[in-house]
Amino acid sequence: MQIEKQYFLNIEKSISEKAWVDRLDPLGVRTAGAISSQLGLSEIVARILAGRGVDVDGAESFLEPTIRELMPDPSILVGMDKLASRIAKAIINKENIALFGDYDVDGACSVALLANFLNHFGIKAQVHIPDRVFEGYGPNIGAMDKFIDNGATLIITLDCGTTSFEAISHAKTRGADILVIDHHLGDENLPPANAIVNPNRADDISEMGYLCAAGVAFMVLVATNRVLRNDGQKNLPDLLKQLDLVALATICDVVPLLGLNRAFVLRGVELMRARTNIGIGALALVARISGPINPYHLGFIIGPRINAGGRISDASLGVRLLTSSDEDEVEHIANRLHELNYERQNIEIAAVEEASATAEAEIGDGEGSPVLVLASKNWHQGVVGLVAARLKEKFNRPAFAISITPNGKATGSGRSIAGVDLGSAVIKAVEQGIIEKGGGHAMAAGISLLPEQLGAFRSFLFDELEADIAIARASNILKIDAAITARAASVEFIHKIEQAGPFGTKNSTPIFAFPSHKIKFAKIVGKGGHISFKLYSGDGASLQAIAFRAVNTPLGDLLLNSVNEKPLHICGTIGINHWQGRENAQLRVIDAANP
């Protein structure tokens, strides 16, 4: 077979310099046919399943995942029995319990899960979410001392703690017991906690490392309920009613939507639509979400607002929103988070503009640096992760954005591209003394270092990741699920493909190509430089489309210059836009090419 015939619509190089290819190889096409035939599914849904590695035998369970079938015995996780027993003992003895969480959505949801669970037994836990600027990530001695001074005998860290040797050692010397519930990568050495449950610790073989911290916390609560039940305790909480928190964290922490995670999200979204958590409901209301809540809303509307508190203001707002039963309080917090998110957007736009200009100067006309490591005194620590994500998207390479503070410290976040493990590289840099502190996972990492360590860190990443980055960037392809027309992209069609959802990491949203469609009525909308337009097929049917953050990019220039001109091949994802009680199909543009 000639290589030219493998390109979808013969697009070897799009405006974004991507090669379009069919997601399905010949074997995948046969698998899709078998799935469609045996399960009575539409051909397009079968193609989507086959394109994500689902075979005929696994298709039915993939479409209808259940927690009962997919969740293993929690004891499969190393340290689980010891940790659950210690929590149960603290509940029975009505101990003073403290919860320390991370300042992102996963941390807030994990703490909320434990806080709600303990509250069921009449225990109001002490809660501390660290200030991103003044405390940084993970447990610190000051917070541990405050817990213990206020009477805590048991401290539980959530979504953090795996690498927190100093703070945990200090708390232990003061007589407190420490439990760690986490999912971040660590090395073989672990801090001296009483128990550590983390499916990504080196000695854990549970294969549950794809869970976010809230997913791990949920399994902890299942195990704790079992210990309490075996002890004869009655009136135990219904944990399934807390799955909305697990779903929110699972989507926002961008963990793989496979296996148990898919069941968590599907069940959790059902609960959100019933507004079982009044905090999430209040935030959905203030954000003006119309129509049923779906995973897109969690990742792009609800999550960013909860994160806004930890990014630029009070990091405890998210936990308070998710745990309060006071409608006036949650309304107040929801409005405050909405305002903070608006402020965060303005801060982010300014930082991204500066970072992009610096990156363009560094890269120049050639390939430039394989990994971007940029720092500035002008960037707020709360938005560096967002800046890194924008740099990664724009320049197609791993990127770190680092904020240099007036006290001479530097704190940053990194985002990676598929095939490049950033978390492992950061941990190695810490082990070698190149930076002070850091951790994360394959696609994202956080670091703390001194400004004078920037050069060494940059050089280390070049040497460590250059080969992997070269391989990843060389395979700059865009996998297309199918070609359709504007007329075919109906609301009914979208509902049909949603059978294969929820979509996200490792279960990617289907990408459709629209061959030879014309652009009309284009306009620039929003502060982020989005382009909104109508896409027309040859038969006169139209589809509303939007290209996010496209202004002043090659994609945006092509779209705007093609209005009412010759047709383009355009590809993207399709979803439902709810407006004034009506459902309309909308295309979110990813790429375009000349026929």
Helix 105-120 with 243-252: angle, nearest 10 deg: 170
How many domains does the chain fold into? 3
- Identify whether residues 430 and 550 lie together within a single domain: no
- Identify whether residues 82 and 218 lie together within a single domain: yes
pLDDT of 484 above 80 = yes
* Phi-psi domain of 286 (left: phi exceeds 0; alpha: psi -120 through 50; beta: other): alpha
Q: What pLDDT sits at residue 366?
A: 67
Summarised one tens digit per residue, pLDDT across range 348-380 is: 999 999 999 999 998 876 677 899 999 999 999
pLDDT of 298 above 90 = yes
- Identify whether residues 194 and 233 lie together within a single domain: yes
Residue 402, domain CATH: 3.10.310.30
Q: What pLDDT sits at residue 518?
A: 97
d(CA 147, CA 142): 9
Summarised one tens digit per residue, pLDDT across range 299-348 is: 999 999 999 999 998 999 999 999 999 999 999 999 999 999 999 999 99
pLDDT of 295 above 50 = yes
**275 in a domain, yes or no?**
no
Last residue of one domain, picked from the residues 220, 245, 270: 245
Q: What pLDDT sits at residue 365?
A: 65
pLDDT of 563 above 50 = yes
Last residue of one domain, picked from the residues 214, 245, 276: 245
- Identify whether residues 111 and 164 lie together within a single domain: yes
**48 in a domain, yes or no?**
no
Last residue of one domain, picked from the residues 427, 451, 475: 475
Amino acid at site 462: F
**320 in a domain, yes or no?**
no
**375 in a domain, yes or no?**
yes
Q: What pLDDT sits at residue 486?
A: 97
Q: What pLDDT sits at residue 5?
A: 45
Q: What pLDDT sits at residue 187?
A: 76
- Identify whether residues 469 and 544 lie together within a single domain: no
- Identify whether residues 465 and 579 lie together within a single domain: no
Span 387-394, average pLDDT: 94
Q: Tally the residues of the chain.
A: 595
Which is higher by pLDDT, 443 or 8?
8
- Identify whether residues 76 and 200 lie together within a single domain: yes
In this prediction, residue 81 has a pLDDT band, given cuts at 50, 70 and 90, of: very high
Summarised one tens digit per residue, pLDDT across range 154-167 is: 999 999 999 899 99
**280 in a domain, yes or no?**
no
CA distances from 1 to 167, 270, 361, 475, 483 (A): 60, 47, 42, 19, 21
Residue 150, domain CATH: 3.90.1640.30
pLDDT of 464 above 70 = yes
- Identify whether residues 234 and 114 lie together within a single domain: yes
pLDDT of 450 above 60 = yes
- The phi, psi pair for 293, rounded to 5°, reads -65, 135
Summarised one tens digit per residue, pLDDT across range 217-263 is: 999 999 999 999 999 999 999 999 999 999 999 999 989 999 999 99
pLDDT of 593 above 90 = yes
**325 in a domain, yes or no?**
no
pTM, to two decimals: 0.90
- Identify whether residues 424 and 516 lie together within a single domain: no
* Phi-psi domain of 181 (left: phi exceeds 0; alpha: psi -120 through 50; beta: other): beta
Q: What pLDDT sits at residue 442?
A: 85
- Identify whether residues 383 and 519 lie together within a single domain: no
**31 in a domain, yes or no?**
no
- Identify whether residues 543 and 485 lie together within a single domain: yes
Q: Which domain holds residue 502?
A: 3-23+481-593
Q: What pLDDT sits at residue 435?
A: 96
Residue 547, domain CATH: 2.40.50.460
- Identify whether residues 441 and 493 lie together within a single domain: no
**96 in a domain, yes or no?**
yes
* Phi-psi domain of 593 (left: phi exceeds 0; alpha: psi -120 through 50; beta: other): beta
